[in-house]
Structure 1
Amino acid sequence: MLSFFQGTARWAAPVAALGLLAACSSSQTTTDTATTATADSTVAAGAARPDSAATASTAPKPVTPSKPKPTWAPGIHPEMQAVIEALDSLSGGPTAKPMAKMTPQEARKAPSAADAAMATMKKFNIPTPPATADTMSRTVAPGVKVRVYTPKAGTAPYPVIVYYHGGGWVIANLDTYDASVRALSEQTGAVVVSVAYRQGPEFKFPTAHNDSFAAYQWTLAHTADIKGDPKRIAVAGESAGGNLACAVSMMARDKKVALPKYQLIVYPIAGYDLNTPSYLANTQTKPLNKDLMAWFFKYYLRTPADGKSPMIDLVHANLKGLPAATIVTAQYDPLMSEGKMLADNLQKAGVPVQYKNYEGVTHEFFGMAAVVPEAKQAQAFAVEGLKSALK
């Protein structure tokens, strides 16, 4: 059964919201280099956690934009607009080189939506809540590392979520999406295994997909090592990571490997049609637009024919027998139409789905709960499905 919700409620911006920000890109400086389990508390500059004590003396201020609404988003909500304004400022203003005109190496160094959300927090004196999970790094396959987030509270064995970050299979890293992962771990009480899959153009399709499945198989085989429960494992991801989460479920089904108990799929890349209604309506949106999506496909796919693979074109894949899912989309996002189509097609295939589209926000809003009210709502919606499936 498909449950559809249209996200319209407006909440006051949370000050101590869990999960700060997630982004389409970040400086590519992942520090998970250990080949065995090692303590890992490093967070990249793009997702650094500011000193709460340093900000506590100044009261938080309402998050408000300083400019008129952009023409591409006449209904954008003020907190989201403030983040986009910060992204524009960090990127060099209206004359800055678009990411779709950069090389992958340049794009990996460009300011991200994570950087923008952090800058917004600093500007409006929003403190960061303390970390509630310990982290360790593991190498799980040649060239593939994971960061394991273990709750400081609760009692093992914990439920487990295998999480795949976004970035179009080309940019971003574990640090970029650290806040989303911490939010999921905190709010579900789960161990989260965040996967650093290899990316294009250095590693073309289907490398990221195969790496993601290898990490899932490693998790199945090592749940006891990470204090997890092998009978309570879900997959989750944002953007390209949402694609990977669903693809991993399909690969598990086809290879007769134990299926995840649940899927959290947040504004996924779910098709290869750049002329859907949301693509046509979002040619100028930030941080993701039609040109940037074409750029991602260019650098990850070997040839255009790869776009027809069921691992990429989820909306036309065989979806029967997959786990129940929660799917989240955003209004100002070229991927909105295919995210909704994926929800519809999962339902047609007999898969229970909870779907919600959030108005007034853009791609990458999910991890920005400290700034964007809809992010806090979306996290609560996602956690509801996960906790129900993993109890």
Structure 2
Amino acid sequence: MRHSPVAMSPVTAGFTALMSRLRTPVETLDLAEIQAGRGFAYPARPPFTWVTGTVDPVVGITYGTAPARDGYEVPLRIYRPREARDSETDIPVVVFLHGGGWVQGNVVAYDPLCTHLARRVRAVVVSVDYRMAPEHKAPAAAHDCIDATRWVAGHAAVLRADTSRLAVCGDSAGGNLAAVLAQAARDEGGPRILHQSLVYPATDLTLASPSIDEHADAPMLTRANILAFRRHYLPEGADLTSPVLSPLFGDLAGLPPALIQTADLDPLRDDGLRYADALRAAGVPTRLTNYVRVPHGFASFPGATPIGAQHRAELVHELRSHLYAAGGDGAPPPR
């Protein structure tokens, strides 16, 4: 159901107005400027954490690498709740894929969300630092994510986790990659994925969704931004309907259950709504929540929206329900 136009809350409107003044549109950046900006993350202290959420101190952060098919070692940022004893190896795994249009972003900037998921889901979260465009065109990012997830699934002892209980989660471009990964895992012999959580995912790079034009000048993400990201990401002559680029056009039967969260004031809103409709038509259990009064990117600034806590609670609930129901007792552990 489409609700737009609905005004943002004053706090959200003020925050996004500030961001529009501080951020340089991606379409105006050259390669050196793109590369220089990739390392940015807000400081993990107030007042920044009032917006981004805190980096949970109960979660330990370590590092690793996973081999890609071309010999590259994909960096991994690994989150483990300290409440889980070193000898406790039956906690599940969430592979997380960050957003940024396949061009920007980094794993450190997602520490607040990934530590939240690690503690509240009670899971090892593995954030994949996949290669980005324009230096690495599609499908490099998708291949890195697929290969890293296969490595994760095969290294339960290293992660001290039950990698047979595996979910994928991503936002925006990361949501695109998570959807692509779920299809590849089904088609290419695994690993088995129990759930996919897609937060305002890009699912159709033909840009056929009506919301692309409806919210062409939206805060946080514009149509011009999307065109620039797509130009950087795609190789020359790419087939925009290839499922490795646009998962909406893939065979969706037999995919894992999905949560799709969309932002009502987002050019990508209808990408998520259409993907949810297509998954349901293919028989895939799908929960869709379209959050009103918020723009693209709300997962990264929960403190500046009226729905930040609800979005996180829903995300945690869906992941816990699917990952712990698979553990044999049919219910997640106590919070």
* TM-score range for the pair, normalised by the shorter chain length: 0.7 to 0.9
Question: 1:376 maps to what in 2?
Answer: 309
Secondary structure at 2:169's aligned position in 1?
strand
Question: 1:286 maps to what in 2?
Answer: 219
1:185 counterpart = 2:118: yes
1:81 counterpart = 2:13: yes
Deviation at 1:276, TM superposition (A): 2.1
Question: 1:100 maps to what in 2?
Answer: 27
Q: 1:125 to 1:207 in 2, by over 3 A?
A: closer
Aligned length: 317
Secondary structure at 1:359's aligned position in 2?
strand
1:194 counterpart = 2:112: no
Aligned equivalents of 2:291, 2:41: Cα separation in 1: 19
For the 8 Å contact 2:93–2:165, the answer to whether it is kept is yes
1:152 counterpart = 2:79: no
Deviation at 1:170, TM superposition (A): 1.0
Deviation at 1:296, TM superposition (A): 0.8
Aligned equivalents of 1:323, 1:125: Cα separation in 2: 32
Deviation at 1:366, TM superposition (A): 1.2
Pick from 161, 169, 183 the counterpart of residue 250 of structure 1.
183
Deviation at 1:208, TM superposition (A): 0.4
| Matched letter for residue 139 of structure 1 | T
For the 8 Å contact 2:81–2:122, the answer to whether it is kept is yes
Q: Name whichever of 302-311 and 194-203 sits farther off.
A: 302-311
Aligned equivalents of 1:293, 1:247: Cα separation in 2: 19
Q: Which has the higher contact order (CA 8 A, sep 6+)?
A: 1
| Matched letter for residue 64 of structure 2 | R
Aligned equivalents of 2:303, 2:98: Cα separation in 1: 19
Aligned equivalents of 2:294, 2:19: Cα separation in 1: 14
Aligned equivalents of 1:121, 1:310: Cα separation in 2: 41
Q: 1:266 to 1:104 in 2, by over 3 A?
A: farther
Question: 1:134 maps to what in 2?
Answer: 60
TM-score by length of 1: 0.75
For the 8 Å contact 2:211–2:266, the answer to whether it is kept is yes
Question: 1:302 maps to what in 2?
Answer: 235
| Greater helix proportion | 2
Please list the CA deviations of residues 30-58 of structure 1 after superposition, one character each: whole Å capped at 9, or x if unmatched: xxxxxxxxxxxxxxxxxxxxxxxxxxxxx
For the 8 Å contact 1:104–1:171, the answer to whether it is kept is no
For the 8 Å contact 2:26–2:229, the answer to whether it is kept is no
Instruction: Report 1:325-364 matches (<5 A).
Output: 325-364=258-297
Aligned equivalents of 2:64, 2:55: Cα separation in 1: 26
Secondary structure at 2:261's aligned position in 1?
strand
For the 8 Å contact 2:17–2:219, the answer to whether it is kept is no
Secondary structure at 2:108's aligned position in 1?
coil
Q: Which runs of 5+ in 2 are unaligned?
A: 325-335
Deviation at 1:370, TM superposition (A): 3.3
Aligned equivalents of 2:218, 2:135: Cα separation in 1: 27
For the 8 Å contact 1:159–1:228, the answer to whether it is kept is yes
For the 8 Å contact 2:52–2:301, the answer to whether it is kept is no
For the 8 Å contact 2:265–2:296, the answer to whether it is kept is yes
1:90 counterpart = 2:22: yes
Taking only aligned residues, the RMSD between alpha carbons, in angstroms, comes to: 2.7
Deviation at 1:99, TM superposition (A): 2.3
Percent identity, please. 32
| Matched letter for residue 373 of structure 1 | P
For the 8 Å contact 1:164–1:194, the answer to whether it is kept is yes
Secondary structure at 2:64's aligned position in 1?
strand
Secondary structure at 1:75's aligned position in 2?
coil
Aligned equivalents of 2:247, 2:278: Cα separation in 1: 9
